[in-house]
Chains A and B, each alone.
Chain A
Amino acid sequence: QSVLTQPPSASGTPGQRVTITCSGSRSNIGTTSVQWYQQVPGTAPQLLIYGDNRRPSGVPDRFSASKSGTSASLAIGGLQSEDEADYYCAAWDDRLNGQVFGTGTKVTVL
């Protein structure tokens, strides 16, 4: 049972901008920083964004993220075919005393 809510799907044509939202609560997104993970089907998730809006080394700058209150968002600018994957937001939840993940969003490149 996911605590963070995401839209199940998002899509766009190559070059378009796609935005994914993540809705949480005061005990998770409202308290701690958000991560975003990218998972290509059949492979392990990879850290895409940490600290609300920071990219690990090697992550293209077309990926950006932000947070406001108890919601966060991930934007993919200049969508490319290799961006087709599942995306999960995540944060520590103080009330549950554990990591919580979003429901996941499947991004399709049309």
Chain B
Amino acid sequence: QVQLVQSGAEVMTPGASVKLSCQASGSTLSTYYMHWVRQAPGQGLEWMGIINPIGGSTSYAHKFQGRVTMTTDTSTSTVSLELSSLRSDDTAVYYCARSIVIVPSELDHWGQGTLVTVSS
């Protein structure tokens, strides 16, 4: 049974950085591409980027380039998302999700989500 388990909720101040994690169990992390998708309160889904756990190559949505870093640790089957220079509009639930290939990115398993609140 595949499970993606994400780290707990975070409360951050504007300008800070946050690092979220997503640990895979029940499957080999290296077999899948991992994505991060976020959802602001009452809003829709927003794709942030993708990482290939083998080699760690990444592709980020233009909106987040320069502020986001995705990394992987295959020894612990964990992928991480770091978002810097946080603003109030970064308040959202952040999800990790996996796909077998890049195109199409069929996200067949999702983590439970991590709420990040950015507030002074």
> Cβ of A24 < 8 Å from any Cβ of B?
no
Give B39 Cβ to nearest chain A Cβ, in Å: 8
Size of interface on B: residues with Cβ below 8 Å to A: 24
Measured CB to CB, the nearest residue on chain B to A88 is B45
Taking A44-B110, A44-B111, A96-B62 as contacts, is the C-beta distance between A50 and B104 under 8 angstroms?
yes
Q: Which chain A residue shows the least CB distance to B113? A: A44
| Residues of B with C-beta under 8 A to A98 | 47, 49-50, 59, 61-62
In the assembled complex, the CB of B44 is this many whole angstroms from the nearest CB of chain A, namely 4
A47 B108 Cβ-Cβ under 8 A: yes
Q: Which of A14-22, A76-84, A101-109 lies at the binding interface? A: A101-109
In the complex, B102 has a CB within 8 A of chain A: yes
A33 in contact with B104 (CB, 8 Å) = yes
Q: How far does the Cβ of B7 sit from chain A's closest Cβ, in whole Å? A: 15
Q: Is B89 an interface residue (CB 8 A)?
A: no
For the complex, give the distance between the alpha carbons of A56 and B50 in Å: 22
Main secondary structure of the interface of A (DSSP, over half): strand
In whole angstroms, what is the CA distance A90 to B106 when docked?
9
Total contacts A to B, CB within 8 angstroms? 67
Q: Is B84 among interface residues, defined by CB-CB distance under 8 A?
A: no
Contacts of A32 in B (CB 8 A): 103-104
**A48-67 interface bits toward B, Cβ cutoff 8 Å, 1 = contact, 0 = none:** 00110000100000000000
Q: Does A100 contact B (CB under 8 A)?
A: yes
Closest B residue by C-beta to A99: B47
| Contact of B45 (CB < 8 Å), options: A37, A47, A92, A96 | A37
Most buried by A among B49, B95, B97, B111: B97
A-B pairs, top 7 by smallest CB distance, nearest first, are A99-B47, A44-B110, A101-B45, A50-B106, A104-B44, A92-B103, A99-B105
